[in-house]
Amino acid sequence: MRKTSTMFVAAFAVAALAVRVDAQQSAPAQNDSIAFLDHVNAAKLLAADDLTGRNLLDCTMPPQSAAPTGKPVTAPPTIVFDQLYYLGTDIVASWPLVTSGGIIQIDSLDNPEEAQRIIIGGYKELGLDPAQMKYLVLTHGHDDHYGGAKYLQETYHPHVLMSTPDWDMLAKLHEPRAGFGPPPTRDMDITDGQKLTLGNTTLTFYVTPGHTPGTISFLVPVTDKGTPHLLSFWGGSALPRTLEPGAFEARATDMGLLIYKRSLERFIKIGEDGGADGFIANHPYRDQTFLDGKNDKITKNQMRKPGDPSPWIGRSTYIRYMMIALECNEAQIGWIQAGKPRVGQ
Ligand SMILES: [Zn+2]
């Protein structure tokens, strides 16, 4: 296991080097085209046969949305780790983290109806008390993550946390989109490196701009039937479409691919330093928590036998997942720098 991960860390170093070379060259478009296709091929290689799903759509040119379309399918409320639960759909996730001092709820789904039916309904089904929701952490200021927050805030009164830049972004929002709830009332700001302690659990938040100006990412300590693990939670999975920060349009803005890359590289290092050995996400088609009720981690977990590892744990899989994101990020940067040539795929 250790050997495999070392190999991927080495691949990471090579990828970073390749980009530096690209940036220094005033190479003709043909060379740039080849360089960005190398990153696409690297991502496909890293995906092997188990991560080939929607994450590779980030490597299409132009990039396609990785989100499934159609009516959301509600996932069965699931105890994923001893203290971490999944309550969401096949499109968007929410995660209650249970501590000895109450519950830290991560994200709030699209709207009050989903928050009530899926989050609060899920709490009741899994034996959690909604009155114990002490904090609601919003990974970023997009309505599919904060849409249920105002309802939860007004009904159960958790402190609501989001990064300063994303609270500022939401202050510019005029009208909620159809089907999505309004932003919550501004409460607590998350700054880079800030810790949140509740009972026996401490989370450290990192502001990782890219997907939005203040997307947060963090590591989640959990146990699986008593065995400790550390999960990486990268807060903004979809890639920006331009190199530089975009203008505020309608409901949001992003920080461009170049800043996204810096944040991702930083968070990969934070995960390595912390010893992360698994990952979760705020969209279930990213971490494959819930896809179709057949070939996903919730289903595998239901069929798990005593002694089998948790489907969410695997250090080399985690590293490959992060490296695919980095390779596709590099590929999109190279594709734009090469003048967005037509790519046969
Ligand atoms: Zn988003």
Domains and CATH numbers, the chain: 69-316 (3.60.15.10)
237 close to 282: Cβ distance less than 8 angstroms: yes
Write the DSSP symbol of residue 202.
Answer: E
> Which residue carries 């946390």 as its tokens?
161
Q: How much distance in Å is there from the Cα of 278 to the middle of ligand 1?
A: 21
The conformation of residue 172, written as its DSSP 8-state character, comes to T
- Residue 76 pLDDT exceeds 90: yes
168-172: long-range contacts (C-beta < 8 A, 24 or more apart)? 168/213, 168/214, 169/141, 169/212, 169/213, 169/214, 169/248, 169/252, 169/253, 170/141, 170/146, 172/248
Tokens 């070379």 locate to 21
- Taking only the tens place, the pLDDT of each residue in 299-332 is 999 999 999 999 999 999 999 999 999 999 999 9
How close is the Cα of 41 to the center of ligand 1, in Å?
26
Give the model's pLDDT for residue 234. 98
Ligand 1: centre distance to CA 345 (Å): 26
Length of the chain: 345
Query: How far apart are the CA of 303 and the centre of ligand 1, in A?
Result: 32
What is the CA(25)–ligand 1 centre distance, in A? 33
pTM of the model: 0.90
| Phi, psi (deg, nearest 5) at residue 250 | 60, -65
| pLDDT tens-digit map of 137-170 | 999 999 999 999 999 999 999 999 999 999 999 9
Share of the chain above pLDDT 70, in %: 90
pLDDT tens digits for range 216-242: 999 999 999 999 999 999 999 899 999
Structure tokens, 147:
């849409």
